[in-house]
Structure 1
Amino acid sequence: MKTVQFICMIAALNFFACAQQETSNDVAISTALAGDEPLPDYVKQALNSETLQDTVVKSEEEWREELTQEEFYVLREEGTETPFRNEYNSNKKEGIYYCAACHNPMFTSYTKFESGTGWPSFYAPIAKERVKEVEDITMGMVRTEVECARCGSHIGHVFPDGPEPTGLRYCLNSVALDFEAKK
């Protein structure tokens, strides 16, 4: 049954994206995932201000100089922060979540939900092109890692147990994110 729902969702996204040719693909996809309501202007501005063409490539030494020790551990060494003791798990403000390493807009409060896991959770990225999903076979299990599509930093994991409309739970590390409240 979930396979049928997933196929229907993909078909609806493709239809919606084609119907919204005057907007960017990022905005069309995000709007479809968020529902029938158009995206707020601050989300559109974030998507238009940062492009994925500006790929960020740095040495591990450069990253170590720029990031805090905890940021480096999570973003570059694929660590995990402590649940329930992080900055954005309980954040209820409206705004955009960016990659803490390169400022790529990746998630919005529009798709954030309370998962009870102790980490900030979202049912969809701001646009699918903003994140990269990679198979992770560490810790004796198979999971899907979420990376920043712009700089390759580890952000968290995605699981197939989230709410509708996607059924996904992007379980992320607060330290891997920067938050900018809606202005």
Structure 2
Amino acid sequence: MKKRLFLQAGAATVSIAWLSRYLPGRPTVMAASKDVFEITKSEEEWRKILTPAQFEVLRKHGTERAHTSPLDKQYGKGIYACAGCNLPLFSSQTKFNSGTGWPSFSDPIKGAIATSVDNSLFASRIEVHCHRCGGHLGHVFDDGPAPTGKRYCMNGVAMKFIAG
């Protein structure tokens, strides 16, 4: 009996997550000034330069499956940059293993990100975007390590690692 309830609850959760992209309340991204980002492209232009997975996450606010990104276990020295516009977002010095299955950081590079309120999935969360192109990166939570106490839980497909 418990197994069936567990499976039903899991199926309901996955269904809600999948359907949430079609519900009202999707986040709106606010740019630094006049709601225009430094880098803007049409949907067609973004599709030409991004992989389908990158487009789904960066431009459609999707989420990659946990434990699928090679960047989750990347611990070399370097910079994590936006896959859409190459803006440096996070330093490897702030990366930590959160155990969530997504690359996690305690602090972004100053001025690299923008945030908005995400009311999807019947909850209010803080969504993180690239400051330059507005690409969706992930969410920030208040359960990270000292000194910031923040966990920037990012989609690996939305970034690229530049060793150095």
| Fold match by TM threshold 0.5 | yes
Q: Does 1:131 align with 2:113?
A: yes
Q: Distance in 1 between matches of 2:61 and 2:88?
A: 20
Q: How does 1:1-183 map to 2 (within 5 A)?
A: 55-127=38-110, 129-182=111-164
Deviation, 1:66, is: 1.0
What is the aligned residue count? 128
> Structure 2: any 5+ residue segments left out of the alignment?
1-36
CA displacement at 1:70 relative to structure 2: 0.4
- Residue 118 of structure 1: SS of its match in structure 2? coil
Higher helix share: 1
The aligned amino acid for 1:125 is P
SS of structure 2 residue aligned to 1:74: helix
Percent identity among equivalent residues? 51
Taking structure 1 as the reference length, what is the TM-score of the superposition? 0.69
Give the superposition deviation at 1:74: 0.4
> Which residue identity does 1:79 align to in structure 2?
G
Structure 1: gaps (5+ residues):
1-53
Query: 1 CA distance for matches of 2:159 and 2:63?
Result: 13
The TM-score normalised by the length of structure 2 is 0.77
Q: Structure 2 counterpart of 1:124, which letter?
A: D
Distance in 2 (alpha carbons) for counterparts of 1:73 and 1:116 = 24
Deviation per residue, 1:99-127 (Å, 9 max, x gap)? 00000001010100010000000000011
One-letter amino acid of the counterpart of residue 84, structure 1: H
Task: Give 4+ residue runs of structure 1 displaced > 3 Å after superposition.
Answer: none
Query: What is the CA deviation profile of residues 124-158 of structure 1, one whole-angstrom value per residue up to 9, with x for unaligned ones?
Result: 0011x110011000011100000000000000000
Q: Post-superposition shift, 1:95?
A: 0.3
